[in-house]
Structure 1
Amino acid sequence: MKKSMNILLVGVGGQGTILASKILSHVALAQGWDVKMSEIHGMAQRGGSVVTQVRLGEKVYSPIIEPGEADIIVGFEKLEAYRWTHMLRPGGTMIVNDQKIEPLPVLIGAAAYPEGIIEAIGERVSRLIVVPALDLAAKLGNPKAANVVLMGVLASVMDISRETWDAALAARVPARFLELNQRAFAAGLDHRERKEA
């Protein structure tokens, strides 16, 4: 790994972005890395934006990622992902859940949800991984596990052992949901591996 890595997680309140960032931070700490994390909640409880910046490496002094400096962006909702593409560095990786969650202006009829968002993201970034995370989680019996499906995809682009991720899940996920989340993580990892095959 280079001296530091910047990972941005963006989504909508209720999608589990904060839990995902805590799993990621746990993984990084287990690697012996320095970790800084910053969370921004925009009316998160009402379906507003949630953005988490995670910086990890040998020594990290600030949790803030500057525009054009994110190595990886994980978009839990496709419109939110599109809004944050300016943060990705050239050659960086964008992982996008193809889920659509209509923001308040759309719900009240003041705006329309844009068409062709995934294609528009593809025009802005060079490395795009699109994941049907909600569908994969629903097949496991709980759509709320989509966040951990996305962590499985993230794990596939980071050089960190599966055991380290498994230990982070066990440490951060309540025991009654652990088995489901382990299967969700495996589904994300498997999805990515099948795409690469």
Structure 2
Amino acid sequence: MKTMNFLVTGVGGQGALLASNILADVGVRAGYDVKKSEVHGMAQRGGSVTSTVRWGEKVYSPLIGQGEADYLLALEKLEALRYVGMLRPGGTAVVGDQGIPPLSVSSGDDVYPDDEQVRRVLSQVTDDYHLIPSVRLAEELGNARAHNVVLLGALSTFIDDVPPDVWLQSIEERVPKRFVELNEQAFQVGREARSSVQRTGRI
């Protein structure tokens, strides 16, 4: 049973912590020892939020060092660039295409990177990166806030030894009951989106 290191990052209010809680629950259900840690930004909404999740036969610490994450799950593009150095060379990055400009961009001091810049920076660490139009896909289901689970669906396709029904059980356990069906649909859409990107290079 190999150890798998996940780094989940986003901006406050995007659902990064829910995504990491689901990810940790999936690991437990799949029979792994799991450790998780999280760091909140200064503000409830708008600050950077990161969480590390580790699965393994026996995990002693939730901490992940620079260049040690096997998977980067980024709900926001700039956060992906901020933390891509935590990804091991050749690791897998699943990135939502939402952009939330920080105050430095709003004030004109900085420029928000375009998608080509995002791809260029990610490619310096790994060729295995996937930009998913998670917000659009969630909006098509009726609620943009489910974009975090769209990205979990995409991530799940890389973890062959955990079947989809285990992920769906964790989603059912972790999200409010009135949103379970929506999030189950978001998960399936994310799985299909990643397959579409693999086949065509775009959605």
TM-score by length of 2: 0.92
Alignment partner, residue 123 of structure 1: 124
Alignment partner, residue 23 of structure 2: 24
Q: CA deviation at 1:122?
A: 2.3
**8 Å contact kept, 1:85–1:125:** no
Alignment partner, residue 80 of structure 1: 79
Q: CA deviation at 1:44?
A: 4.1
1:99-139 Cα distance to aligned partner (Å, 9 max, x none):
11011211233322233223322233221111000110011
Where in structure 1 are there 5+ consecutive unaligned residues?
none
**8 Å contact kept, 2:6–2:54:** yes
Alpha-carbon separation, structure 1, partners of 2:169 and 2:43:
28
Alignment partner, residue 112 of structure 1: 111
1:9-51 Cα distance to aligned partner (Å, 9 max, x none):
0110001000001111111000111111010111241301000
Alpha-carbon separation, structure 1, partners of 2:45 and 2:107:
14
Any residues of structure 2 matched to 1:153-172 within 5 Å, and which?
Answer: 153-159=154-160, 160-172=162-174
Q: Does 1:7 align with 2:6?
A: yes
**8 Å contact kept, 1:98–1:118:** no
Alpha-carbon separation, structure 2, partners of 1:19 and 1:113:
26
Alignment partner, residue 47 of structure 1: 46
**Runs of 4+ deviating beyond 6 Å:** none
- Residues 193 and 171 of structure 1: is their aligned pair in 2 closer, same or farther, counting only changes over 3 Å? same
Alignment partner, residue 187 of structure 1: 189
Alignment partner, residue 143 of structure 1: 144
Where in structure 2 are there 5+ consecutive unaligned residues?
none
**8 Å contact kept, 2:10–2:50:** yes
Alpha-carbon separation, structure 2, partners of 1:131 and 1:54:
21
Say what the alpha-carbon RMSD is for the aligned residues.
1.2
Amino acid at match of 1:144: R
User: How many positions carry a matched residue from both structures?
Assistant: 196
Alpha-carbon separation, structure 1, partners of 2:60 and 2:124:
33
- Residues 99 and 118 of structure 1: is their aligned pair in 2 closer, same or farther, counting only changes over 3 Å? farther
Alignment partner, residue 67 of structure 2: 68
**8 Å contact kept, 1:13–1:43:** no
Alignment partner, residue 91 of structure 1: 90
Alpha-carbon separation, structure 1, partners of 2:87 and 2:111:
26
TM-score by length of 1: 0.95
Q: Does 1:175 align with 2:174?
A: no
Alpha-carbon separation, structure 1, partners of 2:186 and 2:66:
31
**8 Å contact kept, 1:12–1:44:** no
**8 Å contact kept, 1:14–1:44:** no
Alpha-carbon separation, structure 2, partners of 1:142 and 1:104:
26
